[in-house]
Structure 1
Amino acid sequence: MANYTAADIKALREQTGAGMLDVKKALDEADGDRAKATEILRVKGLKGVTKREGRTTSNGLVAARVENGVGTLVEVLCETDFVAKSEKFGELAQQVLDQAVASGAADADALLKSTLGDGRTVQDLLDEANATIGEKIEVKRVARLEGGNVVSYLHKTSPDLPAQIGVLVALEGGDEQVGRDVAMHIAAFSPTVLTRDEVDAETVENERRVAEATAKEEGKPEAALPRIVEGRVNGYFKENVLLEQPFAKDAKKTVGKVLEEAGANAQSFARFRVGS
């Protein structure tokens, strides 16, 4: 029988993030030598990287940092919540965030191709983690915002998981508090655009068609249709446009009004929710 203990299994699982059965098999093969077992896990894991490419990554975390007026937000995904809340995965996500900040990457492709200090790319780093942990791991999205006042906010949807929603908002003017309030609002109400001008014309026209067809189906008077359609299209804007949404802390005011009163202008924002 291999010479290892339950403590060795626990330590190797925490070190590599691999499953218990894989860890025990590796320790058996290495006769209890943890360094050899780690190498075995890595070698066997790398062989399975291609097989895992088609798997679904619906768990993971978001991480953010703001430095010198620049905010960076990354979404790192894995397959299970067990891995998502592991120390090893958390450390990996921080490495990814560090590199996103250092490289200035504005999208996932640029980040994956960027080179770490030891010569590896971020994709190499993920492949190695994929091998030892035994799950598909990927960087799904990256956002980078600049502004006079950039604020980040991370939200846990479950107390035993890392942050699942991350927000960056860039303001001109205002203070940290109004920035945080707006970031929290974005996390809760998930706007899709900053202003109605950013909604493409095709989407607006489709909303008009649906609103008109619905009103006719409801038997609304023909003379009232233009007003009803306009009201419903404006309802779409209020639901999706950040500056037109009722503010989370005071629904009598729009987000735009709250920013105006605080002497601030919103320049841009980014919102990631894990797996969506």
Structure 2
Amino acid sequence: MAVTAQMVKELREKTGAGMMDCKKALTETNGNIDEAIDYLREKGISKAAKKADRIAAEGSTYVEVEGNTAVLLEVNCETDFVTKNDQFKNLLAELGKHLLNQKPDSVETALQQKLHGDGEVLEQYINSNIAKIGEKISLRRFTIFEKTDNDAFGAYIHMGGNIGVVTVLEGSTDEETAKDIAMHVAAVNPRYVSRDAVSEEEVEKEREVLKTQALNEGKPENIVEKMVEGRLSKFFQEICLLEQGFVKDPDKKVKQVVAEKGATLKGFVRYEVGEGIEKRVDNFAEEVMSQVKNK
């Protein structure tokens, strides 16, 4: 029996499983919806689907490097405990290898790509891990980096994966310096590489704020402009990596460290697990009271 898009849609609505999983289940059961539901349950996929509405704000960052290509990724789960699980660590490694080999342009594309060239797509592989581990797990984001033989990657994972950073040092193969800069990024969390990367709109907005502050302090207008430029310089130091004092040698700015290597900092990406995800805050007392009332 031919599997139609409507049948796949119906099965997805009933189980919450992924499109490819539903299509495979219907194919295996000759289009029988009830048997397909049982098939998904047996494979543990419906179990994974039931966890889809849970909040997964814990997890780990991970870096995989192969030659002139690197990938930084974040995988989320529900509890920090799971990140120490060998199976979860293996999942990170498999995802890292897949992303390096296939170089998808988005998470959505990655999830529908076949893993190791066999019949299983990445979404199915993650779902099978959800069934085994027992928590919602999701590939949240990734960035792929490219360099030449004359450049260096700096990869750093902090606090067992809570923060992950990759830097690209152009014109130098000094991986140690590239990693030191990645450690700096992990610690200081700059927003931009250099002043040039900050939009004129943001600079003007900050300039107006600083000007208002100076005038409110009662400073004469004839020296306000100089004060604003001085404070603006401090603003750039706070948000621009190259303007910051290097954590390993605060007497030097990061741009001096890079220049001493005859290099250019091409860029960096910093992931912090769960940033931007609203974490559920459980009120234990309310939870207990609700259970008492329901008895």
The reply to whether TM is greater than 0.5 is yes
Find the residue that maps to 1:216 and give its secondary structure. Answer: helix
In structure 2, give the amino acid aligned to 1:153: A
Is 2:111 the counterpart of 1:112?
A: yes
Match of residue 167, structure 1, among 165, 168, 174: 165
- Return 247-256 or 130-139, whichever deviates more: 130-139
Aligned positions, number = 234
Aligned partner of 2:131 in structure 1 is: 131
Structural RMSD (CA): 2.4
CA distance in 2, matches of 1:228, 1:55: 50
> More displaced, 70-79 or 107-116?
107-116
Q: Classify the secondary structure of the residue corresponding to 1:263.
A: coil
* Superposition map of 1:62-101 within 5 A: 62-101=61-100
Distance 1:220 1:124, change over 3 A: farther
Q: Deviations over 1:122-143 (max 9, x none)?
A: 2222222223323221111111
Question: CA separation in 2, counterparts of 1:185 and 1:52?
Answer: 37
Please identify, of 204-213 and 240-249, the stretch whose mean Cα deviation from structure 2 is larger.
204-213
CA contact (8 A) 1:71 1:152 kept: no
Range with bigger deviation, 234-243 or 200-209: 200-209
Shift in CA distance, 123/255, structure 1 to aligned 2, threshold 3 Å: same
Q: Could you say what secondary structure the match of 1:90 adopts? A: helix
The separation in 2 between residues aligned to 1:113 and 1:226, in whole angstroms, is 56
Secondary structure of the 2:141 match is strand
Q: What SS does the corresponding residue of 1:182 show, helix, strand or coil?
A: helix
Q: Which residue of 2 aligns with 1:13?
A: none
- The reply on whether 1:154 has 2:156 as its aligned counterpart is yes
Shift of 1:255: 0.9
**C-alpha separation between the residues in 2 aligned to 1:220 and 1:54?**
55
| Amino acid in structure 1 at the alignment position of 2:152 | V
Give 1:14's aligned residue. Answer: none
Q: Specify the SS of the correspondent of 1:73.
A: strand
Match of 2:203 in 1: 204
**Counterpart amino acid of residue 132 in structure 2:** T
Specify the alignment match of 2:145 in structure 1.
145
Q: TM-score, normalised by structure 1?
A: 0.77
State the distance in 2 between where 1:106 and 1:187 align.
25
Give the letter aligned to residue 69 of structure 1.
N
Matched ranges for 1:243-262 at <5 A: 243-262=242-261
2:35 is matched with which residue?
Answer: none
Residues 145 and 269 in structure 1, CA contact (< 8 A), matched pair in contact too: no
1:197 to partner: Cα distance: 1.8
Q: Distance in 1 between matches of 2:132 and 2:180?
A: 40
Structure 1 stretch displaced more, 88-97 or 146-155 = 146-155
User: After alignment, is 206-215 or 45-54 more displaced?
Assistant: 45-54
Amino acid paired to 2:139: V
1:96, distance to aligned residue in structure 2 (A)? 0.8
Alignment of 1:222-261 (within 5 A): 222-261=221-260
User: What amino acid is aligned across from residue 86 of structure 2 in structure 1?
Assistant: E
Q: How does 1:7-22 map to 2 (within 5 A)?
A: none
Q: Secondary structure at the match of 2:70?
A: strand
Structure 1 unpaired stretches of 5+: 1-38
Check the 8 A contact 1:113/1:122 in 2, yes or no: yes
TM-score, normalization: structure 2? 0.72
- Contact 1:42-1:128 at 8 Å conserved across structures: no
Tell me how far apart the structure 2 counterparts of residues 169 and 246 of structure 1 sit (CA, whole Å): 17
Aligned-partner Cα distance in 2 for 1:275–1:109: 19
Distance in 1 between residues matched to 2:156 and 2:40, nearest whole Å: 33
Q: State whether structure 2 residue 66 is matched by structure 1 residue 54.
A: no
**CA separation in 1, counterparts of 2:171 and 2:256?**
14
Q: Distance in 1 between matches of 2:219 and 2:119?
A: 67
- AA partner of residue 127 (structure 2): D
Residue 178 in structure 1 maps to residue 167 in structure 2: no
Task: Spell out the pairing of 1:34-49 with structure 2 (5 A cutoff).
Answer: 43=42, 45-49=44-48
Aligned to 1:5: none
